């Protein structure tokens, strides 16, 4: 029983991390149809700015957390302004490749100005403690992670349903032209989407840093690859889909790790991706997206 609870918490926290990142991808995709592969580099940027702030300014972890989130928001909005504005409205392939290009540029900039080796940044490690609840020993980080993700989802729901900008963003996901005709500035809506995406990346960055304790140029790539897959499973561009996909992937990954024999641990990634491919073949548009006739959006 204890084992079961521990593993469920594992699954939940894995899923929460994927869901956070996947939400950041989905909110940008839903509005401008861009598969933002550079999201992982936004997270890495947060990590590097934490190293810089940690050495230059303060070691106070709470100030650093605010700084990391601010840095991620800044990076995300700046990327939109510099790179993605030119390909707005272009087809999917163009956007995808641009995002890939931006991702490579940032990774290599980190390589140039940082170091190919990991740089230690351990200020958030204190979040990860083992605590005992009754007879179960759990990691406090996993609890923080799950709770933060749930709070972030609630806050995002409130923002999207109750504020003008939020409603404009939801409307833009359906019909951007109409939103613009109603007098909402396109730039503001898109910048808003990227800011939220950066905020979510910042939260994810805090947890990733708490777990790794170091930064590396490629640190963002793998989580985003998985989150990308989570988005696809749930239905690209659907926010509930991204959350569902994230948690499903978390559960699958933990289940695969438990069910496969120890020696096959290296294959966990392969199994997860194979399952994803199967889901996509079963429902090419993802689980939570309504069946759409081809040609609807032409």
Partner 1 sequence: MRFLPLNSAQRQGLLGSAMLSLLILAIVGAYYLWGESYQARMLYAVFVNLLVVVGLQVFTGNANITSFSHAAFMGIAAYVAAICVTPIAMKAISLPDAPWGLNAFELSALSAALLALLITGLLGLATGLFMARLTGVGVTIVSIAILVIVHSIFLYRTDIFKGNQALFGIPKIFDLPQITALVIVAIFIARAFRESAVGLKLRASADDEVGARAMGVDVFKVRLIAWVVGTLFFATAGIAYAFYLGTISARPFYFNFVFLTVSMLILGGLRSVTGAVFGTLMISMGLELVRWLETGPVISGIKFPEVLGLSGLLLGVVIVAVMAFLPRGIMGNREIEDFVKRKR
For residues 245 and 14, give the distance between their C-alpha atoms in angstroms, rounded to a whole number: 12
Whole-number CA gyration radius for the chain: 19
291 binds partner 1 (CB under 8 A): no
DSSP per-residue string spanning 253-264: HHHHHHHS-GGG
For partner 1, the closer CB: 62 or 113: 113
Span of 57-65, 66-74, 245-253, 271-279 interacting with partner 1 by CB under 8 A: 271-279
Q: How far is the CB of 209 from partner 1 (least distance, A)?
A: 22
Measuring CA to CA, which residue among 1, 259, 113 is closest to residue 9?
A: 1
Selected binder of partner 1 within 109, 136, 143, 251 (CB under 8 A): 109
Q: How far is the CB of 51 from partner 1 (least distance, A)?
A: 17
**DSSP code of 116?**
S
Span of 59-67, 95-103, 158-166, 171-179 interacting with partner 1 by CB under 8 A: 95-103
Q: How far is the CB of 21 from partner 1 (least distance, A)?
A: 15
For residues 54 and 147, give the distance between their C-alpha atoms in angstroms, rounded to a whole number: 26
Measuring CA to CA, which residue among 198, 186, 289, 292 is closest to residue 236?
A: 289
Selected binder of partner 1 within 7, 165, 269, 287 (CB under 8 A): 269
255 binds partner 1 (CB under 8 A): no
Measuring CA to CA, which residue among 146, 169, 147 is closest to residue 157?
A: 169
Q: How far is the CB of 266 from partner 1 (least distance, A)?
A: 4
102 binds partner 1 (CB under 8 A): yes
225 binds partner 1 (CB under 8 A): yes
For partner 1, the closer CB: 34 or 68: 34
For residues 148 and 191, give the distance between their C-alpha atoms in angstroms, rounded to a whole number: 24
- What phi, psi does 122 have (nearest 5°)? -105, 15
**Mapping DSSP to helix (H, G, I), strand (E, B) and coil, where does residue 139 land?**
strand
36 binds partner 1 (CB under 8 A): no
For partner 1, the closer CB: 84 or 176: 84
105 binds partner 1 (CB under 8 A): yes
């Amino acid at each position: 029983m204890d084992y079961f609870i521990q593993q469920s918490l594992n699954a939940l926290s894995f899923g929460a991390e994927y869901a956070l990142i996947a939400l950041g991808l989905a909110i940008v995709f839903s509005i401008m149809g861009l598969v933002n592969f550079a999201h992982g580099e936004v997270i890495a940027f947060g990590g590097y700015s934490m190293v810089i702030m940690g050495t230059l300014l303060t070691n106070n972890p709470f100030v650093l957390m605010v700084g990391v989130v601010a840095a991620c928001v800044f990076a995300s909005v700046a990327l939109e302004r510099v790179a993605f504005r030119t390909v707005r409205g272009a087809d999917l392939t163009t956007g995808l490749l641009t995002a890939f290009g931006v991702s490579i540029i940032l990774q290599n900039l980190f390589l140039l100005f940082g170091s190919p080796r990991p740089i230690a940044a351990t200020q958030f490690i204190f979040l990860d403690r083992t605590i005992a609840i009754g007879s179960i020993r759990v990691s406090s980080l996993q609890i923080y992670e799950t709770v933060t993700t749930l709070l972030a989802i609630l806050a995002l729901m409130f923002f999207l349903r109750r504020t003008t900008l939020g409603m404009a963003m939801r409307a833009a996901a359906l019909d951007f032209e109409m939103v613009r005709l109603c007098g909402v500035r396109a730039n503001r809506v898109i910048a808003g989407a990227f800011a939220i995406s950066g905020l979510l990346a910042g939260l994810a960055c805090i947890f990733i840093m708490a777990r790794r304790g170091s930064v590396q140029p490629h640190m963002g790539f793998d989580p985003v690859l998985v989150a990308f897959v989570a988005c696809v499973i749930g239905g690209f561009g659907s926010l509930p889909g991204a959350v569902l996909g994230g948690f499903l992937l978390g559960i699958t990954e933990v289940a695969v790790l438990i069910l496969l024999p120890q020696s096959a641990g290296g294959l966990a990634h392969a199994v997860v991706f194979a399952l994803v491919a199967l889901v996509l073949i079963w429902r090419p548009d993802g689980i939570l997206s309504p069946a759409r006739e081809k040609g609807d959006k032409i």
